[in-house]
Chains A and B, each alone.
Chain A
Amino acid sequence: MALLVPFPRSLSQESNYSGRPTTTWGTTLTASATPHALGSKTEIVASTDYDARMVIVRFHGTSASATVTNALATLYKGAAGAEVPLISDMLCGWAQIISSTGPGIGYAFPVRIPRGTRLSMDLRALIASETVNVMLTLIGDDPGVPWSGAGVETLGADTSLSRGTQVTPGTTAEGTFTAIGSTTRDWRYVVGMQVGNADTTQNVSVMALDIGAGGALIPGLENFTFTNTSGEIVVPDNMDPGRWVGIPSGTALQARLQGHTSDTEAHSVILYGVY
């Protein structure tokens, strides 16, 4: 008897943007008029249509020449007034302008979001009443990913300054490992982000982020790559959004940076783990 294997189905997808592109494509989040305080939550999806196994979040529109634009955005699930964080403190400042410089800062997390879920987001930022545009895509059914998790843990966020942990890069040698935080869950998928400069004049550099523990590199978590431009823009390598590497609960994670040119200014780092 022949073995019948069904061919892959097309994936269910839903997003908060459609139709003709706009310069603010997606949903616009607004931070508080008080720097670093949270703005009001904004609904992104009233009720998801499908069980999702992957969420893609893209931020654009925060960068400005000669300006520090530190900002953090959080994705929530749940009814209005009863939201719980799903993905906390995504670095979203220093993001390209979609109509002129590029598509922005992207994240991809293999996390389960059941059908019928309400999704919302809020924003905190250095700049009073800062805005960021967020484009959200949920991918469901059988995306071919080996595993999808229940939640995302964030390490290294400094919500008082709307940024991550400051890490100073090395140049001809790797920078020194800086403590980011200890995991409280078993991570299966790891995202490393470097977004943000210490001042208004960002050095042009290709920046490589490594993640380690105990002063040693964790295999598979080397060279998350970013382009830091002179227009105070940070461009992650969106073709390499995360790594399938297991990190046990209780691991004290560290990060180091190395730039292709001389750059002694600290940059902002946050690590995310899907569990």
Chain B
Amino acid sequence: MAITEAFQASATIGATERFLASNSTTKTDQATAGVYQLFLELNNLANGDEFRLRIYERISSGGTARVVASWVLKDVQVDPLYATPTLVLLHGWEFSLQKLAGTDRAIAWSIRKVA
């Protein structure tokens, strides 16, 4: 069973939600099935910054993408690499980042896949 890096990029994240697999502020739901885990490099965050991370998925191929989970990443990160739980994603998934407060920050991401 192969482990690969499905997507890797970086961008300056601001108040407009940015979709990570799409690497765009326009969301394109991903339909390649797999077990995925997202890593974020948060070394640029400073006190006063807040970023919201969301995971989207569809319950069926014809369904609507909805939020599975979300986290707020706030202030200086003592452990600057953040990893999400591993999720089985199938029908129409995506990850996103959006600044809620503070300064726009350059954040790199890596979406890793099993299978």
Are B72 and A275 in touch, CB under 8 angstroms?
A: yes
Are A116 and B78 in touch, CB under 8 angstroms?
A: yes
A275 to B76, CA, bound (A): 17
Are B78 and A114 in touch, CB under 8 angstroms?
A: yes
Nearest CB in chain A: distance from B103 CB, A: 12
A115 to B76, CA, bound (A): 11
Closest to A76 in B: B47
A116 to B78, CA, bound (A): 8
A79 to B47, CA, bound (A): 10
A71 to B78, CA, bound (A): 33
The 0/1 profile, CB within 8 Å of A marked 1, for residues 32-54 of chain B is 00000000000000011010000
Are B78 and A115 in touch, CB under 8 angstroms?
A: yes
Asked if A175 is at the interface of the complex by the 8 Å CB criterion, the answer is: no
- Residues in B whose Cβ lies below 8 Å from that of A36: none
Nearest CB in chain B: distance from A57 CB, A: 18
Asked if A82 is at the interface of the complex by the 8 Å CB criterion, the answer is: yes
Nearest CB in chain B: distance from A45 CB, A: 15
Closest to A116 in B: B78
Are B77 and A114 in touch, CB under 8 angstroms?
A: yes
Are B48 and A185 in touch, CB under 8 angstroms?
A: no
**Contacts A78-B47, A82-B47, A84-B47 given; does A150 touch B78 at CB 8 Å:** no
Q: Which of B23-81 contact A (CB under 8 A)?
A: 47-48, 50, 70-79
Interface size class of A (residues with CB under 8 A): 10 to 19
**Contacts A84-B48, A116-B78 given; does A150 touch B73 at CB 8 Å:** yes
Are B78 and A151 in touch, CB under 8 angstroms?
A: no
- Residues in B whose Cβ lies below 8 Å from that of A103: none
Asked if A41 is at the interface of the complex by the 8 Å CB criterion, the answer is: no
- Residues in A whose Cβ lies below 8 Å from that of B71: 150
Asked if A181 is at the interface of the complex by the 8 Å CB criterion, the answer is: no
Asked if A43 is at the interface of the complex by the 8 Å CB criterion, the answer is: no
- Residues in A whose Cβ lies below 8 Å from that of B72: 149-151, 185, 275
Q: Which of A110-125 contact B (CB under 8 A)?
A: 114-116
Closest to B102 in A: A84
- Residues in B whose Cβ lies below 8 Å from that of A149: 72
**Contacts A78-B47, A151-B50, A185-B100 given; does A51 touch B78 at CB 8 Å:** yes
Asked if A14 is at the interface of the complex by the 8 Å CB criterion, the answer is: no
Closest 7 CB pairs of A and B: A114-B78, A150-B74, A150-B72, A84-B47, A78-B47, A84-B48, A151-B74
Known contacts A77-B47, A77-B75, A275-B72; 7 additional CB pairs below 8 A are: A83-B47, A84-B48, A150-B50, A150-B75, A151-B74, A185-B100, A186-B70
Q: Can you offer 14 A-B residue contacts whose CB atoms are under 8 A? A: A51-B78, A77-B47, A78-B75, A84-B75, A114-B78, A115-B78, A150-B50, A150-B72, A150-B74, A150-B75, A151-B50, A151-B74, A185-B100, A186-B70
